[in-house]
Structure 1
Amino acid sequence: MVSKTDTPQDKPTPQDKPTPEVEAAAAETTVEPEVQEAVISLDLDAQARKIIRHNCYWSMGAGLIPFIFVDTAALIAVQLKMLKELGDLYGVPFKANAGKSAVTSLLAGAGSGYLGYKTVTSGVVRRLVRKTPVIGTAITLATMPAFDSAFTYAVGKVFHRHFASGGDFLSFNAKKVQSEVNETIEEVKAKGVDAAQAAA
Structure 2
Amino acid sequence: MTLKQVTARSAINKYSLLAGAAGLIPAPGLDMLGIGGVQYAMIRKLAEQYNVPMPAKEQVMAIVAALTGSLGATKVAYGAGGSLLKSVPLVGTTLGMVSVSVFASALTYAIGKVFMMHFETGGNFLTLNPDKLRGHFEAEFRAGAAQAA
TM-score range, shorter chain: 0.7 to 0.9
For the pair shown, which has the larger CA radius of gyration, 1 or 2? 1
Contact 2:31 2:83 in 1 (8 A): no
Match for 1:84 among 8, 26, 44?
Answer: 44
Match for 1:109 among 49, 66, 70?
Answer: 70
Contact 2:4 2:49 in 1 (8 A): yes
Number of residue pairs the alignment of both structures matches: 146
Q: What does residue 124 of structure 2 align with? A: 168
Question: Offset at 1:171?
Answer: 1.2
Higher relative contact order (CA 8 A, sep 6+): 2
Paired with 2:83 and 2:120, the residues of 1 have a C-alpha distance of: 38
Larger mean Cα displacement after TM superposition, 141-150 or 105-114: 105-114
Contact 2:107 2:141 in 1 (8 A): yes
Structure-to-structure mapping, 1:118-133, within 5 angstroms? 118-119=80-81, 122=84, 129-130=88-89, 133=90
1:75 maps to amino acid? I
Structure 1's unaligned 5+ residue stretches are 1-40, 194-200
Question: Offset at 1:184?
Answer: 2.0
Runs of 4+ in 1 over 4 A off after TM superposition: none
Backbone CA RMSD of aligned residues: 2.0
Q: What does residue 110 of structure 2 align with? A: 154
Identical aligned pairs, as a percentage? 28
1:85 maps to amino acid? K
Structure 2's unaligned 5+ residue stretches are none
Query: TM-score normalized by structure 1?
Result: 0.65
Q: 1:138 to 1:102 in 2, by over 3 A?
A: same
Question: Offset at 1:73?
Answer: 2.2
Paired with 2:118 and 2:28, the residues of 1 have a C-alpha distance of: 31
Paired with 2:66 and 2:82, the residues of 1 have a C-alpha distance of: 22
Contact 2:70 2:134 in 1 (8 A): yes
Paired with 2:14 and 2:83, the residues of 1 have a C-alpha distance of: 27
Residue 71 (1) aligns with residue 31 (2): yes
Paired with 2:116 and 2:86, the residues of 1 have a C-alpha distance of: 36
